[in-house]
Amino acid sequence: MSEKLTGNDLLQYIDQMNDPEKLKKALEFIHPADILDALEDSDIDQISFLARLPNDILAEIIEEADDEDKNEIFDLFEGQKQQQIISEMASDELVDLLETLDPKDADDLIASLEPEEASKLKSLMRYDPETAGGIMATEFVAIKEAMTVKEALEYLQQYGEEAEALFYIYVLDKQGALQGVISLRDIVVSRFDTHLRDLTNPNVLSVTPEMDQEEVARIFHKYGFSSIPVVDQRNKMLGIITADDALEVVVDESTEDFEKMSALAHSDLEYLDSGIIDLARRRILWLLFLMISATFTGFIIQGYEAALTEMVILAAFIPILMDTGGNAGAQSATLIIRGMALGEIDISDYSKVFFKELRISLLVGVTLAVVNFLRILLFNRDMMLGITVSVAMLFTVVTAKIVGCSLPIIARKLRIDPAIMAAPIITTIVDALSLMVYFWLATTIYI
């Protein structure tokens, strides 16, 4: 990375600029994310520093900040200044900010806007934040097809400044219905007298505002677009979603899946910024639930107390069966959960997945069982013990893989997030089943 001013350096540099015009010019080329970083690292007085910045820069800084910081920075200012700041914000970012505020304060702010702007915001806020409507911006550039490149450029010089992103320009009919798309790139590489209709792609891919943001991100990933238009059921254009929104979605959704798959409740706060109580709370409920579930496995062992008393050596193989079952199940569950998240596996593939996992589990299970059998022969010199543990091992692996591939797909079918059905829950279920079979085998063929 090229060298940059950071931390106190940056802030002092900005602080020394007394001429507002010079300050504005200097700030134009410093990314708001860097100002935020600098603010976090330094011991400068936030309020007096921020108060000197122009409203559009403040708007950008708030847009850039994490959810919990947006609110904090915004609250440093009083009412009138707040109104000036939000008038500089992009619609999608403003919705994010308003959602972090007290509903009463948010309503007051919306009421301070022009009626048209206010009603647009209210309709944006009605969308679920995790849908296309929740992440789209309404600032896009629409154009009439009956222009030449030169006329289009002149039009953009007049109206382009407001757009959220200028990768594509949308062709709408008189009712606002989406007719086609022209890439800005095609406009600038074409001669001034080219007619726009020769550059228009009528086969434009669009999404509805209700589409889940994960699905939107999958479309970006598949096609590599820079932005995608959002249209209503009558094809009326409502807004655009840009590639950086998609990147944000992918990072957030992956993080949530990692959390769910490790029995963690979600939080928007970064680890180092979170308090002990908050971090403990995110873990304790799942741990309690799983601990109590594991009690049943304990009951199974208690039920075989007589067998255990007779052959205490049986207890020595509990860990190996439990660990292998947990790992084998986690492997299958992860492949299926990830495959569904990437849109590679669908509910309708269940029978294919099931038979695949069945055959894999037999292959893997037999291998592990044989290695295990040889190990027991070598160390314990007890053929029947070897058979008992190894048959239980084969059963454990097969059960783990079948449960591991089935639960995520069943969850999706029930419209629950498949990521919940990962290692922790699968381990608990497989442990109980596998120890039940192990002790049943032991009492039937071994003792």
Residues within window 347-366 making contact with a copy of itself, judged by CB under 8 A: 349, 352-353, 356, 359-360, 363-364
Question: Based on CB atoms, which residue is closest to a copy of itself, 52 or 283?
Answer: 283
Please give the DSSP secondary-structure letter assigned to residue 229: E
3 phi, psi to nearest 5 deg: -70, 140
Is 342 an interacting residue with respect to a copy of itself (CB under 8 A)?
Answer: yes
Task: Specify the residue, 106 or 243, whose C-beta has the smaller distance to a copy of itself.
Answer: 243
Q: Which of 129, 201, 347, 410 binds a copy of itself (CB under 8 A)?
A: 201
From candidates 4, 126, 266, 413, binder to a copy of itself by CB under 8 A: 4
DSSP 8-state secondary structure symbol assigned to residue 178 = E
Interaction of residue 250 with a copy of itself, rule CB under 8 A? yes
If one asks whether residue 33 binds a copy of itself (CB under 8 A), the answer comes out as yes
Residue carrying structure tokens 């799942």:
286
Does 435 help bind a copy of itself (rule: CB under 8 A)?
yes
Interface residue with a copy of itself, options 44, 330, 398, 436 (CB under 8 A): 330
The DSSP element (H or E) to which 373 belongs, if any, is: helix 350-380
390: Cα separation from own chain's centroid: 41
- Measured CA to CA, the distance from residue 302 to residue 282 in angstroms comes to 32
Residues 6 or more apart whose Cβ sits within 8 Å of residue 133 = 124, 126, 127, 209, 210, 230, 238, 239
Site for a copy of itself in 129-168 (CB under 8 A): 153, 156-157, 160-161, 163, 165-167
The residue within the footprint of a copy of itself, chosen from 6, 12, 123, 295 (CB under 8 A), is 295
Residues facing residue 388 across a β-bridge: none
Does position 19 bind a copy of itself by CB under 8 A? no
The Cα–Cα gap between 96 and 77 comes to: 18
Of 248 and 417, CB closest to a copy of itself: 248
Report how far residue 67's alpha carbon sits from residue 357's, in angstroms, rounded to the nearest whole number.
41
Of the two residues 109 and 145, which places its CB atom closer to a copy of itself in the complex? Answer: 145
Q: Per rule CB under 8 A, is residue 299 in the interface with a copy of itself?
A: yes
Amino acid letter, residue 21: E
Q: Does 193 bind a copy of itself (CB under 8 A)?
A: no
What's the closest the beta carbon of residue 292 comes to a copy of itself, in angstroms?
8
CA 45 to CA 359: how far, in whole Å?
64
Q: Near a copy of itself by CB under 8 A, which window of 14-22, 79-87, 118-126, 295-303?
A: 295-303
The count of residues interacting with a copy of itself (CB under 8 A) is: 132
Structure tokens at 341: 């998240």
Task: State how far the Cα of 328 lies from the Cα of 333, in Å rounded to an integer.
Answer: 9
- Stretches 16-24, 110-118, 119-127, 293-301: which one binds a copy of itself (CB under 8 A)? 293-301
Q: What is the DSSP string of 344-366?
A: S--GGGHHHHHHHHHHHHHHHHH
Tell me the two tokens of residue 144: 């009439």
CA distance 271 to 286: 18
- Edge-first strand order for the sheet with 168-172 is 142-143, 168-172, 178-183
Task: State the nearest-atom distance from the C-beta of 42 to a copy of itself, in Å.
Answer: 18
Phi, psi at 171, each rounded to 5°: -100, 120
* CB closer to a copy of itself out of 77 and 439: 439
Binding string to a copy of itself for residues 217 to 246, with x set by CB under 8 A, is what? x-xxxxxxxx----x---x-------xx-x
**Shortest approach of a copy of itself to residue 412 CB, angstroms?**
15
Q: Is 11 in the site for a copy of itself (CB under 8 A)?
A: no
Question: Which single residue is written with the structure tokens 């069982």?
Answer: 369
Using CB under 8 A as the binding rule, whether residue 270 contacts a copy of itself is answered as yes
Longest Cα–Cα distance in the chain = 94
Contact map string, positions 42 to 81, toward a copy of itself, x by CB under 8 A: ----------------------------------------
Is 427 one of the binding residues for a copy of itself (CB under 8 A)? yes
Which residue, 86 or 353, has its beta carbon nearer to a copy of itself? 353
User: Taking CB under 8 A as the rule, does residue 204 contact a copy of itself?
Assistant: yes
Q: What is the DSSP letter of 271?
A: G
